[in-house]
Amino acid sequence: MNRKIVNRDIATFRGDVAVLVPAAGSGLRLGGGVPKALRELDGRSLLSHAISRLTAAPSVGLIVVAAPPHLVAETAQMITAETAADAGTAAGAEVEIVVVAGGATRQESVALALAAVPEGLDIILVHDAARALTPSGLVESVAAAVREGHGAVIPALAVVDTVKRVSAADAVLGTVDRSELRAVQTPQGFRRSILVKAHADAVDQHTDDAGMVERLGLAVHCVPGSEYALKITRPIDLILAEALLRAETA
Ligand code: CTP
Ligand code: MG
């Protein structure tokens, strides 16, 4: 881990996909006093859960984690210890994992991870560490849609609640047509050149990478998302994730 990979022959990666994992957030809404990616769920960190599922997707050849800047070495050690049992499970080859220092915002963390991807890997996924239980099947379906020619791909789910626009004074301004709405998840997948341009041209902060591609006026394609790809954000999400994990292993 943390080896210099810039000059590495692309053909030696296990798969043709690089996944950037922003994991440098502090997790204020979840609480607990540690960065969210390092919070434990069933004896291992959220980040390790996410990495295990990424390495179980055969397309993935490289994972670049953006860690809290003061915890880069600890994060690398933790990944080595907690994912040792996963290594080499697919096709007998290991997925390369690199840890870099993240930034002050999610967007900055993604940009820093993107800068560490060697030339030649042309399909790049961006995946929140906080979506720790994302199935490898979703990773594969996003990668496949990029491979088939979509420049930007997002997993999306229908919105279950009725959604209203409300004024600052709590007065309802109107009801939004729910059939047109989707809740969007990660991994989001991109042709490399599009993601690089989106980040280079970004003038303000976006909560996802596809938002920057939309701003360029380029097409973004939806594939079906997964309930398991929920973003662990609030304390109740951790309880839900524990239950999902139990249901999965039962
Ligand atoms: N993230 C990051 N760098 C930042 C901020 C966020 O890499 N400066 C990552 C988080 O680690 C997380 C993902 O972006 O995996 C989505 O962010 P979010 O769920 O908002 O996580 P946090 O920012 O950690 O949580 P909070 O907003 O509650 O503090
Ligand atoms: Mg945040």
Mean pLDDT across the chain, nearest whole number? 93
Domains identified in the chain, total number: 1
In which element (H, E) is residue 126 found?
strand 123-126
- Cβ atoms 128, 139 nearer than 8 A: no
* Residue of the CA atom closest to atom 26 of ligand 1: 27
The closest alpha carbon to 99, from 120, 127, 69, belongs to: 69
Which ligand number lies closest to the CA of residue 49? Answer: 1
Going from the C-alpha of 175 to that of each of 159, 178, 179, 181, the distances in angstroms are: 13, 8, 12, 12
The model carries a pTM of: 0.94
* Pairing mode of beta strands 152-158, 188-191: antiparallel
- Cβ atoms 233, 131 nearer than 8 A: no
Per the structure, the complete domain to which residue 96 belongs is given by 3-249
3, pLDDT greater than 80: no
List residues near ligand 1 (CB under 6 A). 22-30, 36-37, 66, 102-106, 109, 128-130, 231, 233
pLDDT tens by residue, 15-38 = 999 999 999 999 999 998 899 999
CATH number of the structural domain spanning residue 124: 3.90.550.10
The environment of the single-atom ion ligand 2, i.e. residues with CB closer than 5 A, is 25
Largest Cα–Cα distance of the chain, in whole Å?
59
What's the DSSP call for residue 70? G
What's the pLDDT at 84? 84
Instruction: Measure the CA–CA gap between 31 and 233, rounded to whole angstroms.
Output: 9
